[in-house]
Amino acid sequence: MPKILPGETDIYAITDPNYSLGRPLEEVVRALLSAGVRIVQYREKKLKAGAMLEECRLLRRLTREADACFIVDDYVDLAILAEADGVHVGQEDLPVPEVRSLVGPDMLIGLSTHKPEQAQAARGLGADYIGVGPIYATHTKEDVVDPVGLQYLDWVHSNIDLPLVAIGGIKEHNIADVARHGARCCCLITDLVGAPDIPAKVAALRKAMRAGQ
C-alpha cells in the first residue's frame, strides 16, 4: 500500500497534456511534487500504449522518489506494468471486481461515482475510494454528466463509508466551499496543471481549503 491514500491528503492532481500550457509531462509532475502534492494520477486519452507505458514508468519513478501515490486512469494493464499504487476507473470501464481480479489485493482501486446508487454500491464492489463529481460544470471531460452540486457532496460525506475525493470544476475560487461540504481531498485538472506557477497555485489552493474546513 502507498504511504498516502486518497482522502488523507488535500490535493489530488490529475495530468492532462491538453491543459498543461504545452509544458512536458515531466516538468508538470516535478512541479506538482516539489509543491508537496502527494497523489498524482496519469490521465491520457490520445497516445499509443507504448508511449503511455513509458510515461507511466517515468511518473512511477518521480512519485516514488517523492514518496507520493501514483494512480493510472482507466488502463489496468499500464497500472500493473508500471507498478502503480492504484488504478482509477469510471462507471463504464472494466467493472471493479474484474479489475480487482487483475490487480490483486494491494493495488488501490478508485471508482468515479455520480449518483447515490453508484456511491452506495462502491464498497461492495471492492473500491478503495470514490470520486464524487462533477461538483461543478466542467469541459475537461468529454462524456461528463450534469453537476452533482454541494448538497450531494454533503450527502455522500455523511452516508458513504469510503474515502471520497471531490472532482469537477474545482478551482481556487470555489475550493473552500467544496472543503466546507465535506471534501478533505479535491481532484483538479485545469486549475492546477494549467497554472503558470504550479507551486504558487498549490499553496493558494491549500490556503483556501483550510479556510473552508
189: exposed, middle or buried (Cβ count in 10 Å: 0-12, 13-18, 19+): buried
Determine if 170 is a binding residue for ligand 3NM (CB under 6 A).
yes
CA gap 186, 166 in Å, rounded: 5
DSSP 8-state class, residue 106: S
Nearer to ligand 3NM, 6 or 131 (CB): 131
Among candidates 119, 123, 205, which has minimal Cα distance to 157?
119
Give whichever of 71 and 104 is closer to ligand 3NM, judged by the CB atom: 71
Q: Please indicate whether residue 115 is annotated as part of the active site.
A: no
Q: Does 133 bind ligand 3NM (CB under 6 A)?
A: yes
7: left (phi over 0), alpha (psi -120 to 50) or beta: left
Q: Binders of ligand 3NM: how many residues, by CB under 6 A?
A: 15
Which residue type, as a one-letter code, is found at position 12? Y
Rg (the chain; Cα; Å): 16
Looking up cell 512541479, which residue turns up?
31
Residue 15 assigned as binding residue: no
For residue 147, whether the previous peptide bond is cis, meaning omega lies within 30 degrees of 0, is no
Residue 169 binds ligand 3NM, judged by CB under 6 A = yes
Residue 74 assigned ligand-binding role: yes
Residue among 112, 150, 152, 165 that touches ligand 3NM (CB under 6 A): 112
> Which CB atom, from 30 or from 141, has the smaller least distance to ligand 3NM?
141
What does the alpha-carbon distance between residue 86 and residue 6 come to, in Å, rounded to a whole number? 10
Say how far apart CA 104 and CA 151 lie, in whole Å. Answer: 35
Given 20, 38, 43, 184, the catalytic residue? 43
Q: Is 190 in the site for ligand 3NM (CB under 6 A)?
A: yes
| Kind of pairing between the strands at 164-167 and 129-132 | parallel
Q: Which of 9, 20, 63, 140 binds ligand 3NM (CB under 6 A)?
A: 140
Q: How far is the CB of 192 from ligand 3NM (least distance, A)?
A: 7
141 among known catalytic residues: yes
101 is catalytic: no
Residue 202 · residue 11 · CB < 8 Å? yes
Is 63 a binder of ligand 3NM (CB under 6 A)? Answer: no
Residue 169 assigned as binding residue: yes
Known binding-site positions:
41-45, 73-74, 93, 112, 138-141, 169, 189-190
Contacting positions for ligand 3NM (CB under 6 A)? 112, 131, 133-134, 138, 140-141, 144, 167-170, 188-190
List residues with catalytic annotation: 43, 112, 141
